[in-house]
């Protein structure tokens, strides 16, 4: 969902950014019908939902990315354990939007790395312990279709906020 929303938002804004999603589980799975339906109801049209297949995250993807986002603390913990040097650019989506809202958007003379450094002031690895409604997007898997819509609404809002912070 996050890849579809963020890719669509950035394309609509004319931002030349590459957005890719990958997970911790084995790749190759198609989108669950509930996810596809929720994205369609939220207006995702240009993203090819029918041919989407999940991808298993690699250490190389973590190492090469300018920004790495997870939807839960457990995802971020796993990525940082696998590639310790990714700490300064790996966040949950909710954490980055919350922290970014506190420090404000990227400044005109500021690189992404500089903004992430400002966002990270006071951040510790201990902040990622456990689960938290402040940082984790609820995974609707195995739940009712309405749960997928709630998750889609949350992710859509977070991706919109992130786009406004990074490309004001």
State the 10-residue block means of pLDDT for the chain, 168 residues long: 92 90 83 85 74 87 96 94 96 97 97 97 91 87 81 95 94
Non-local (6+) Cβ contacts of 127 within 8 A are: 95
Residue 12: both structure tokens together? 């609509």
According to the model, what pLDDT value does residue 26 have? 80
d(Cα 52, Cα 24) in Å, to the nearest integer?
Answer: 16
Residue 151: both structure tokens together? 């998750």
According to the model, what pLDDT value does residue 50 have? 66
CB atoms within 10 A of CB 87: 16
Residue 8: both structure tokens together? 């669509």
According to the model, what pLDDT value does residue 25 have? 81
Which one-letter DSSP state was computed for residue 62?
A: H
Residue 103, class by beta-carbon neighbours within 10 Å (0-12 exposed, 13-18 middle, 19+ buried)? middle
Q: What are the helix and strand counts (H, E) for the chain?
A: 7, 2
According to the model, what pLDDT value does residue 140 have? 84
According to the model, what pLDDT value does residue 159 have? 96
d(Cα 29, Cα 113) in Å, to the nearest integer?
Answer: 33
């Amino acid at each position: 969902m996050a890849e579809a929303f963020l890719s669509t938002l950035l394309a609509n804004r004319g931002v030349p950014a590459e957005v890719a999603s990958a997970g911790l589980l084995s790749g190759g799975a198609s989108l669950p019908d509930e996810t596809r339906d929720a994205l369609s109801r939220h207006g995702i049209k240009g993203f090819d939902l029918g041919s989407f297949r999940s991808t298993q995250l690699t250490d190389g993807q973590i190492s090469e990315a300018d920004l790495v986002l997870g939807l839960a603390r457990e995802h971020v913990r796993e990525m940082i354990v696998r590639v310790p040097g990714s700490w300064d650019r790996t966040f949950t989506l909710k954490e980055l939007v919350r922290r970014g809202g506190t420090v404000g958007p990227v400044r005109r003379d500021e690189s992404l790395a500089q903004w992430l450094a400002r966002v990270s002031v006071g951040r510790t690895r201990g902040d990622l312990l456990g689960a938290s409604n402040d940082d984790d997007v609820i995974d609707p898997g195995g739940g009712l279709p309405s749960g997928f819509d709630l998750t889609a609404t949350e992710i859509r809002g977070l991706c919109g906020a992130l786009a406004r912070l990074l490309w004001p």
